[in-house]
Structure formats: structure tokens, C-alpha cells
């Protein structure tokens, strides 16, 4: 146990005291600070009109308004910079042959890789912790902090960090050259962005179909306040897959690695397929913005699951609106609802139609309005349409901040945190140089 503790301590030291870590902390601090500052300023400006208007105020939610944009900075830094910190932790060991030292001590491959992985996850947690001063400031200004929703947002970014760490391990096991490994890692990570872009540009139906499985789309669920078993399983399985493949590739003591890699890929893909059928979702947003009003939701629960034929392209803005305002909410209540995207000639002939089938009866509409859809579904299901279903009374939390308050953010993130990080880092190095001179 002590051996493992020493190994973990060594890995944490190697990672956190590297120059790359210092640079990354400075970048993180700047990006989080700027994101928070911009979000607070925009939220504050918009809040002015909402202070005396309760209806307008209900639209002011701190997580989508302030904290999601603040954490958004982490997304860029994790994607583009984190691999450059994590990959050298392995490539340097390979190039310097110090893996031979660790293996002969003797640590097992699993102990070495696990220790490096744990150190990487600790850094991800440290990066997430850099958002805590922003939360504290927001609270100090009198802002409302929805802790559950905020924790879900942080959990989403932690899972994303886990994914980046796994991809980094995989890339570092392919090459002992840091530059090449980093490029591979960034390409794998950015593939998600390219697929999303391809979907927006309507490049091909295949890209559109694949885009439902991109990392960015899965991460978006956490940002939207939806705790999704499918998205959680997706991140965990994908991370496990990349980490396991990296582990096999790193091991020079095994033969026929490709068999193990293929078996790993097969297991992960199968598990991903089964996880795609998980429909356990919960709306953790405080306002319930991802859910229908309670009375509607109750009535829907009593009705059989509808089957819906959609005669729209996935890239059509109408479909996106429909998906966001109706479909995603429906699937939260009725995860067994069957949605079919119609293609081919039928799509062209009936473009814009929605066909609803319940209990063998069907009706169609071109409308994407909730009221029309509920009327159809409840009529087909023979359920009395729920009346007076209002959203739970969410008051909204507008907050006007002064420019002086906002300047605190700049001071904190662009001056205080870097000022604490820099001397801490240099003190460690000066201390060792001083000791060297005294020898």
C-alpha cells in the first residue's frame, strides 16, 4: 500500500510541478476569469429590465446564464491544452527509459498506468476547483447558487476531463514523441467538432447520424441540466475504451496486441450499443426547463407511449426547435416513445409533417406547437387533456452587478490566482537550487 502511495505521490508531483502545469493553470485562470466576467456583465445588463418584471425575471437562471459560459472556458482548455500536459508524463518516461525503472522496482503496468491516470484526474478536479472562487463571488454578490444543477455541470466537465485523459494516454502509447502524440490526441478530440460542423453543413446522412454520438452533444446534456444515464455511460465507456487500448499498446511485454485491442474495441462498442438504450434521465434544472408542466407530464405518463414519424431533415431548424421544445421533454417522461425520421421519397412528398400514433390510431399535423401536439396525443390516447398545467413557479434570479464588482473578477483571476501560482511554483524550484548550492 505504501509503495502505491509513493508512486501516486510521485505522479502527482511530476504532473503538478511541471512547467506545463503552471502554464495551464495561468491559461485556465485567465479563461475562466474572462468567461465569468463576460457572463456576469451580460447577465447583469439583461437583469436591469427584469428587476421589476416577475414574468421576465423567471427567465433568469444562473446556470445557463452565468455558470455554463464560465465552465465553457474549461471545455476549450481541456480540449486543446490538457493533452499537452498529460502526454509528456508518459512519453518522457518512455523516452528516458524510466518505465524500466518503475517496472523493475517492481510496479505492475496496471499500477503505473493507474497512478498516472489518478494524477491526471486530480488535475482535472483542480481545474474544476478554479471555478469555485467565481461561485463564491456570485454568492457574495447576492446571486442565487443552484447547487444541484451546478454539481451536475461540474460532473459533466469531470467526465469530459476523464475522456481527455484517456485519449491522452492512448495517444502517448502510440508514440514516444510528445509532439506527434499530442497532435493525434487533439485530432481525436476535435473529430467531435468536425462531425458537429458536418451535421450543421448537412454534409451527409451518415455524418448526421454519427453526430448524435459526439462527445460535444453528450456533454451538452449535462450543461442543459439533464442527468442522463446514457451520456454518463457513454463517457465512462469511451474513456475506459481509450484507456484500455492505451494500456495494451504501452505494454511491450505482450505479444499479439492487436487481438487484445480488437477484443477491447468490440466489448466497448457492444457496451455502447446497449447503453444507447438506457433511457434513465432526470431533469435537474431548478426551473424544470427541460420538462413539461407537471400536469401535462402526469397525463402523458398515463397515456401509452406515442410513435412519431417525423418528415423533416435533422438539420432543419424546425426540427431542432421541435426537438428542444417537445421531443427532448417527451423522452424524459416517455423514454419508450418511438421517434422515426422518415427519409427518401416519402420525406419529399410529406415534408414538414408529423404523424402521431397511439393505440393503433393516428393523426398528423404540420404544427410544432405544444398545444396542438398535446391535443392530438391525448385524443388518440383517450386521456382527458390536462388543464391548467403551469410550469412550477420559478421566480428567476436576475442580478445586477456593478462594474466595480465585476472588476474584482478580473483582479482575482488575472492577478491574484496567477500571483499565487507563480511564486508557489518558483519557490519549489528555488528551494531545490538553494539546496544544490549548499551541497
Partner 1 sequence: MLNLREISKTYTGTRSLTDVSFAVPENSITGIIGPNGAGKSTLLKIIAGFEHPDSGEMLFRGTPLSAFDDIKRLVSYMPEQLEIYPDYRVSEFLGFLHGTVGRADVGLLELLNLMSVRNKKIGHLSKGYRQRLKLYFSLCNDKRIVILDEPFDGFDPIQLQDILDMIRAENRKERTFIISIHQLHDAEKICTRYVLLKEGSLVAEGDMASLAERFGLEEPSLEQVFMEALL
Q: Footprint of partner 1 on this chain (CB under 8 A)?
A: 2-3, 6-7, 10, 17, 95-98, 100-101, 103-108, 252-253, 255, 432, 435-436, 438-439
At closest approach, how far in Å is the CB of 433 from partner 1? 8
Nearer to partner 1, 17 or 122 (CB): 17
Q: Give yes or no for a contact between 321 and 354, defined as CB atoms under 8 angstroms apart.
A: no
- How far lies 189's CA from each of 82, 193, 220, 417, in Å? 11, 8, 15, 28
Q: Which sign does the torsion angle of CA 341, 224, 366, 197 carry?
A: negative
* Nearer to partner 1 (CB atom), residue 2 or residue 404: 2
Q: Please identify, using beta-carbon distances, which residue of 153 and 250 lies nearer to partner 1.
A: 250
Q: Under a CB-based contact definition with an 8 Å cutoff, are residues 51 and 400 in contact?
A: yes
In terms of Cα–Cα distance, which of 118, 108, 83, 97 is closest to 9? 118
In whole angstroms, how far apart are CA 347 and each of 126, 322, 341? 50, 17, 9
Nearest to 165 by CA among 124, 125, 104: 124
For partner 1, the closer of residues 118 and 236 by Cβ is 118
In sequence order, the 6+-apart residues with CB closer than 8 A to the CB of 298 are: 386
Q: Which is nearer to partner 1, 77 or 250 (CB)?
A: 250
Question: Which of 307, 309, 288, 310 minimizes the C-alpha distance to 297?
Answer: 288
Cβ atoms of residues 413 and 30 within 8 Å:
yes
Q: Which of 19, 324 has the CB closer to partner 1? A: 19
Amino acid at each position: 500500500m505504501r509503495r502505491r502511495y509513493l508512486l501516486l505521490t510521485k505522479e502527482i508531483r511530476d504532473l503538478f510541478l511541471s512547467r506545463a502545469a503552471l502554464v495551464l493553470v495561468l491559461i485556465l485562470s485567465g479563461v475562466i476569469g474572462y468567461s465569468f466576467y463576460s457572463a456576469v456583465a451580460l447577465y447583469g445588463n439583461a437583469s436591469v429590465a427584469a428587476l421589476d418584471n416577475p414574468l421576465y425575471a423567471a427567465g433568469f437562471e444562473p446556470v445557463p446564464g452565468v455558470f455554463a459560459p464560465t465552465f465553457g472556458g474549461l471545455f476549450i482548455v481541456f480540449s486543446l491544452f490538457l493533452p499537452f500536459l498529460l502526454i509528456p508524463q508518459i512519453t518522457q518516461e518512455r523516452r528516458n527509459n524510466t518505465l524500466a525503472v518503475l517496472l523493475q522496482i517492481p510496479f505492475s503496468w496496471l499500477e503505473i498506468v493507474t497512478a498516472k491516470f489518478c494524477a491526471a484526474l486530480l488535475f482535472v478536479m483542480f481545474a474544476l476547483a478554479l471555478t469555485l472562487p467565481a461561485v463564491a463571488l456570485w454568492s457574495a454578490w447576492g446571486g442565487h447558487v443552484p447547487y444541484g444543477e451546478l454539481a451536475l455541470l461540474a460532473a459533466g466537465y469531470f467526465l469530459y476531463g476523464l475522456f481527455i485523459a484517456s485519449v491522452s494516454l492512448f495517444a502517448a502509447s502510440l508514440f514516444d514523441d510528445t509532439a506527434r502524440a499530442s497532435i493525434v490526441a487533439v485530432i481525436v478530440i476535435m473529430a467531435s467538432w468536425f462531425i458537429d460542423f458536418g451535421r450543421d453543413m448537412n454534409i451527409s446522412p451518415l455524418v448526421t447520424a454519427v453526430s448524435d454520438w459526439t462527445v460535444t452533444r453528450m456533454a451538452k446534456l449535462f450543461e442543459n441540466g439533464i442527468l442522463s444515464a446514457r451520456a454518463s455511460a457513454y463517457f465512462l465507456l469511451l474513456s475506459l475504451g481509450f484507456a484500455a487500448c492505451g494500456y495494451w499498446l504501452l505494454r511491450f511485454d505482450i505479444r499479439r496486441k492487436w487481438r487484445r485491442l480488437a477484443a477491447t474495441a468490440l466489448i466497448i462498442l457492444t457496451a455502447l450499443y446497449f447503453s444507447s438504450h438506457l433511457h434513465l434521465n432526470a431533469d435537474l434544472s431548478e426551473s424544470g426547463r427541460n420538462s413539461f408542466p407537471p400536469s401535462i407530464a402526469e397525463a402523458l405518463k398515463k397515456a401509452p407511449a406515442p410513435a412519431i414519424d417525423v418528415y423533416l431533415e435533422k438539420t432543419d431548424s424546425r426540427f431542432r426547435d421541435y426537438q428542444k421544445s417537445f421531443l427532448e421533454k417527451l423522452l424524459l417522461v416517455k423514454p419508450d416513445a418511438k421517434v422515426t425520421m422518415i427519409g427518401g421519397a416519402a420525406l419529399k412528398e410529406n415534408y414538414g409533417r408529423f404523424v402521431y400514433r397511439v393505440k393503433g390510431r393516428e393523426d398528423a399535423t404540420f404544427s410544432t406547437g405544444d398545444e396542438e401536439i398535446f391535443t392530438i396525443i391525448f385524443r388518440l390516447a383517450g386521456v382527458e387533456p390536462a388543464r391548467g398545467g403551469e410550469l412550477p413557479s420559478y421566480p428567476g434570479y436576475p442580478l445586477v452587478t456593478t462594474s466595480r464588482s465585476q472588476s474584482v473578477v478580473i483582479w482575482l483571476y488575472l492577478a491574484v490566482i496567477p500571483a499565487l501560482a507563480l511564486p508557489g511554483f518558483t519557490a519549489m524550484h528555488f528551494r531545490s537550487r538553494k539546496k544544490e548550492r549548499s551541497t
